[in-house]
Each structure stands twice: as C-alpha cells, then as structure tokens.
Structure 1
Amino acid sequence: MNENKYTVRKLFPILLLIICFACKDNKNSITDRLPAKDYSEIIRLHAEGFSIINHGHYKVLTIKSPWPKAEKSFKYALIPRENLATITLNSDEYDGIIATPIEKIVVTSTTHIPALELLGVEETLVGFPGTDYISSEKTRALINAESIRELGKNEGINTEVLLELQPEVVVGFGIDGNNKTFETIKKSGIPVMYNGDWVEKSPLAKAEWIKFFGALYNKTAEADSIFNSIEKAYNDAKTLASKVKNTPTVLSGALHKDVWYLPSGTSPEAQLLKDANVNYLWQDVAGEGSLALSFEAVFTKGKSANIWLSPSYYNSLETLKNANEHYTEFDAFKNKTIYSFVNVTGATGGVTYYEEGTARPDLVLKDIIKVCHPELLPEYETHFFKPLE
C-alpha cells in the first residue's frame, strides 16, 4: 500500500505535465473549430440590404433584401483558405460555405464589373451572360483574350458552359427569387449569392455594395477605403451644389407605349436630383419604383421644364421627334436642353452608365451638376450625360 502511494507521488508531476499539455492541445483545437465569442459587424454607412459579421476565424455575410419585398434572407459563411482545415460549420445553417479569397467567379450584372476592377480582381472573372454589354476596356481585354466565357442570357444561363468553368461562386440578382437556372447551379454544388444593390434606396447605399465584394476577396480594408473616397467626392459635390440659388426645373423619362415612366420622388434617381439642387417636378410624389403617368399629365406639368434628363432610350432629337411629334412641344426640346447617357458606350455597344453608374454615384452627381449648374464645375467634362444632337 505504501509502495503504491510512493509510486503515485513519484509519477504525479509527470501526470500533471501530461494533463497540462493535453488541456493546451484541446484548448487550441476548440479555438480553431468554434467561432470566437467576440464578434463585430463590418460597418455599413448607407446600405441596408446586407450585413457582414466577423467571427474572427471566418465571416458571415447575410443578404437581407435580395429583391423587393423579399421574405427570405440568405446567409453565407466566408472562410479564409488557411482556416478551412480547422473550421467546422453546420452546412445546413448556410446557403453556401465559401473559401476566400475567391479565385474563380461568375457575375451576372454589368453593375458588378466596376467593383471587381476597383478591387483589382477582375482576372478572377471566368464567365458572364451577355459579354457584349460590358463596356469597360480592362474587362473587354480579358473577354477578347478568351479569359472570360460567354454564358448566354441572364434569364437562361448556359449551365453546361458554367459547370465546365467550375466557378467557386455565382453572383446573381433576382426579381422575385424564381430563377430555375440558379436552382440548377445550386444543385450542382456551386453557391449562388444574390446581390441586391439595385434594391437600395439611395445612390451611396448602392455604391456601398463594394464591401460585399471586399468580403469575398479578403479586401475589406480596400473596399472601405474605395467607398470612403467615393462618398467624400459625392458629398463634396453635394455641398458645392447646395450653395446655388438658381434651381432649374427638371423633367425625366419618356413614353413606353402609352405610359410615361419617370422616377418617383423617393427613388435613388430623385435623390441624385435633390443633391444636385434642382427642382425635379415630381420630387414630392412618393412611390416604389417608377411613376407611371399619362402623356397629358406629364405635359401639363413638364411642358416648361428647363431641362429634360434621360428620355428613355432615345439617342437624338430626331428619334425623339419620330417617336412622337408631341415631344417637340416641350420647351426643353425647343431649347435643345435634353441630356441622356445612352450615347456613351463601350466597344460592343454596352452603355457605360448601366455598368459604372451604380458604383460611381459621385460621377453621376457631378454630371447632373454640370448640366444644371455649369458655372460650378467649369473644367469638368461629363462622364455619362451628353446633350441630344
């Protein structure tokens, strides 16, 4: 009995040392495999449609508003590649578990292209539906070099080609969530992430979705810096415009069949006009999306408008006149003060505004200020808006 006690006493320091090492190893294992208790949210200043929570060893990106009146949100775990072997998550809790930084991606809207270029990751783009719509010279060079494959139309992506490319993620957008092509892609094991930048309520909120892409490429700091510079340029232009006393009246839109569509007073487009310090004639009319009015209603209110912005897809005064002789009765037509962005295109006809306008609201605002208050920006040349000839 005494001999046993002596043996235990003798071995106790060794046993204690073994236990300590075992506890240390186990502690490291738990730390690697479980999310940190302390977490923080990546700061968003304007955007409401997404959130990014940093759990230390991985991030969780949640898409809250993928389309108007969406009742479902989507949650994705973003795990740095070096942590993949040590992070264990329940895949049933996520719509996708994605290794970052992304090495191969497919996006489906031209509004996604500028974010990739601003972050310097455009070479990770391997496929796009409707490559002719892309106007950027940098990305067009990749298309011409056959680094980016044509995937057909967004409504019916060529899934055979896409599966051959094996992207790590497809960034799509949805009108209502009913996209059979996206469901097919998901079933193949490729995550589909819904980008809801177009649902946001302000120009800066839309631009802030660069942080969505920043999270995918482990470039959060770079995305923050890029957005901050865009926001500053926007606010500086807004401050400059706020000092003028002359606020010209502005008309927008045009007829489609028998309905005149133009921005509601609560739309991002109306926000741009407000920040440019102009008198948009429908700025007090709230609504979701566009207002749908009769020609008579628009003519009564807008006949004497000083400036007519964005008359649908019409690219000249002649095409506008040929479409409807009554357009010539507006003062803006008579005075040739009609401005549009449709004539600024890329090499294959893609309209630059549709690609870059969402990402660079500062340029759009400066364009409108130049058109409406030319004396404020004497050296500035418009980026998107040009007068109809």
Structure 2
Amino acid sequence: MKLTRQQFLRVLPVTVLALSGCAASETAPASTEELVFDHACPLDYATQFTADCYEGGYTMLTLTESGEQFLVAPEDAAAVEGLPESVTVLRQPIRNIYLVSTSVMDLFLALDGLDSVTLSGTQAEGWYLDEARAAMEDGRIAYAGKYSAPDYEKILAANCGLAIENTMIYHTPEVKEQLERFGIPVLVERSSYESGPLARLEWLKFWGILLGKEELAEQEFARQVERLAPLAGQASTGKRCAFFSITANNLANVRKGGDYVAQMIEMAGGDYVFADLTDNGNNLSTMNLPLEDFYAGAKDADVLLYNSTIEGVVHTTEELVAKCPLLAEFKAVQSGSVWCTTQSFFQQSTALVDFVLDLHRVFTENDPADLQFLRKVE
C-alpha cells in the first residue's frame, strides 16, 4: 500500500513515541507444551514478516508471503520437540553466514554483525560499503559464488550456518534445494517487497532478532524514524520531481507510483511526476517508458534525479543529453536542477532517511552542498 505524504505526516509523531519494546499480540499464536507464547514484537510499517516471542527466549520469524518459518533459539535453550518439518531452527549464535542479498549487509553493519558473515555472493569490487569491501580484501569474508552458481565446496568447508538470499534465487530453485540438501538453511528475505522506505528499514528488527541484538535494532530504528520528525510539520513544497535512468535501448526506466523511492520523494515534500503510474501482471518496482511518454510526464518537472545504479554515473549535462537529446528541452535541465544518485545508494539500506533529508534540502534550498547520496549534474 502506498504511504502518501499526508498519511506519513499523520502517523509519524505517533510512531516515534511508540517504537520502543514489544507489546502483546491482538491474536496470540497458539502455545504448545514446548513453546509458550509471550508477546509479539510490533511492526509499524513492515508487512513481509512477523516476529512472535515465546518463553525461554525463542522467537518465531515468519515470512508472510511464503509462509516460511524460522525458530530462533538461544544458544543454551533446550531443543524443541514436535515442530512441523516446515519450521527451520536457527540456534544462536548464527555463524559463517553466506550473504547473497546485498541489501542486508548494511543492516548487519548497523547491528555490528559483520563478524557473522564469512561468505559473500558479491566480489570485493562489487561492494560500495567500505567495511564489506575491506573485510573481503583482508580475507575475513570470502567470495563463494553468486546466487545462481555458489561454490558448494567452499560453503561446506566454511561450516556455513545460514544462506541469506533474495528472491532472485527463485530463478534457480535447484540451487536453494541443493544448499538445503547439504544441510544449510536458506532464508529468502523479502525486504524489497515492502511498500515503503520505513518498512524496508524496519527489517533491522528481523536481523536484530536473528543476531541476538534486538535492543540495538529497536534503538537504531527508533533513532532513524525520529530523524524524520522535523518533516512532519512541514507542508508540501510543490516541487515536481522525476527519478529515472536512460537505458541502452533508448527507454526511460522509472519507478512506479507505489514504489518506495516515489514515497521518499513525497516524504521529502516533493510531488512524484509518475505517482499514478502502475501496471498489472508483475511485482517489479520499475518500468520502461518510451521516451515520448517520459517527455510528456517529466518535461516540466522542477527536479530530475538520475539513477546511477543502473546505467552508471552522469557527471555533466552534456553526458546526460548525449544519452537522450530530448532532455535538453526539460525544465530542470534548463534551470540546472539535475542530480545524480551515488552508486552506493541502493546498498546502503540504513541510509533511506538520509536520502529523504537530502531530497528535502534539494526541494527547499538553493543549490545545497555536501549531500550524502546526491551529486549535482553540472
């Protein structure tokens, strides 16, 4: 569900006050002789998982779309008998993780959980996170193959305790099956399917439970949400904004209206020019538009944001116009209000709030400097 700016402004002050701790679930899961339900951790935004806590420190993490369940058990807790075969038990501390989903790494860094990862599905040069790249260059994390072609021998030799994948793994289901056949639990995280930026960020709580750092996760999430509180009392700036890239086959790749990037533009006080853009038949957050349609929708936008993570960084107006001569006629190009994202943006999952604050400065200041994730196209 799309979170409009008005909804965001309404809910934020309440959310900031209600983020600490856990509360009783309205509908408590059934208890058993082995597991006695205690409480559920409240999720203010995320809908792709739930977390039910039981006496003795056990927590059941459920992925709502797939129904997959992972029972996180404390290190010294007794084994739970009679669990359904579909439930995967993860006993803390979870070590030697094979991390394939790149968006998870930054959340692990925020939770001081890098030492739990010893295998990566991305090579050192593919990381834009300095700590992750340094860990690979120092040999603390080894490359173990991409999602579709893992190095099973290396993964087994490392005594891998968990493989964390994204939904790309469903394109090669035999890989998931093989890992599980070798006794390696596979967790397919779905943070990218969350409807908004704060919902994605709330996966801090998911990984906090997994790593035994629930309190730190709660604190970090509350701190990030509170940083947005100053925007709650501000009206829309009225600035119209487009977020896009030009593909190699001369199409404009844009975000759909319900996408989290579109929501961040709204949170920052802007109006996303393709807010009404939707299509049926897939769950993709982007779509390609013919240049004529992109021109019609974005030529009068006050601000253009170029997405560098797909087709590379654009440094100058000349480079941008070379990709698409039509852009020379755009209002934002002529007024000099074109910005390019840094390539680290989509790996820095904890920086969504920083991006919103960057955008707010672009919408409200004259030529702001020292932005974290946006660079002016000169």
TM-score, normalisation: structure 1:
0.80
- Give the Cα separation in 2 of the matches to 1:292 and 1:214: 36
Residue equivalent to 1:239: 232
Query: Cα offset for 1:268?
Result: 0.9
Query: Cα offset for 1:114?
Result: 1.4
Alignment of 1:44-123 (within 5 A): 44-57=43-56, 58-65=58-65, 72-83=66-77, 86-90=78-82, 92-123=84-115
Residue equivalent to 2:304: 308
Query: Cα offset for 1:117?
Result: 1.2
Query: Cα offset for 1:233?
Result: 1.0
Alignment of 1:274-285 (within 5 A): 274-285=266-277
Number of equivalenced pairs: 335
Structure of greater Rg: 1
Deviations 1:338-378 (A, max 9, x none): 11113xxxxxxxx311211x322110101111112126x97
Q: Residues 38 and 161 (structure 1 numbering): CA distance in 2 closer, same or farther, change over 3 Å? A: closer
Aligned sequence identity (%): 18
Residue equivalent to 1:157: 150
Deviations 1:184-241 (A, max 9, x none): 11110010011110010000000000111111111111111111111111233x326x
Determine if the alignment matches structure 1 residue 384 to structure 2 residue 358: no
Alignment of 1:111-150 (within 5 A): 111-131=103-123, 132-150=125-143
- The gaps in structure 1 that reach 5 residues or longer are 1-32, 66-71, 343-350
Q: Residues 290 and 135 (structure 1 numbering): CA distance in 2 closer, same or farther, change over 3 Å? A: closer
Residue equivalent to 2:245: 254
Residue equivalent to 1:29: none
Query: Cα offset for 1:253?
Result: 0.9
- Counterpart code for 2:110: L
SS at match of 1:54: strand
Question: Given that residues 95 and 162 in structure 2 are in contact (C-alpha distance below 8 angstroms), is that contact kept between their aligned partners in structure 1?
Answer: no
- Counterpart code for 2:54: H
- Give the Cα separation in 2 of the matches to 1:152 and 1:37: 40
CA RMSD of aligned residues (A): 2.2
- Counterpart code for 1:224: E
Determine if the alignment matches structure 1 residue 294 to structure 2 residue 290: yes
- Give the Cα separation in 2 of the matches to 1:203 and 1:93: 34
Question: Given that residues 205 and 218 in structure 2 are in contact (C-alpha distance below 8 angstroms), is that contact kept between their aligned partners in structure 1?
Answer: yes
Deviations 1:261-302 (A, max 9, x none): 211221111111111111221223345522432211221232
- Counterpart code for 1:94: S
- The gaps in structure 2 that reach 5 residues or longer are 1-31
Residue equivalent to 1:214: 208
Q: Residues 136 and 178 (structure 1 numbering): CA distance in 2 closer, same or farther, change over 3 Å? A: closer
Query: Cα offset for 1:162?
Result: 1.4
- Give the Cα separation in 1 of the matches to 2:136 and 2:128: 11
- Give the Cα separation in 2 of the matches to 1:324 and 1:282: 19
Residue equivalent to 2:327: 327
Query: Cα offset for 1:91?
Result: 5.3
Question: Given that residues 147 and 169 in structure 2 are in contact (C-alpha distance below 8 angstroms), is that contact kept between their aligned partners in structure 1?
Answer: no
TM-score, normalisation: structure 2:
0.82
Query: Cα offset for 1:311?
Result: 4.4
- Counterpart code for 1:254: S
Determine if the alignment matches structure 1 residue 364 to structure 2 residue 355: yes
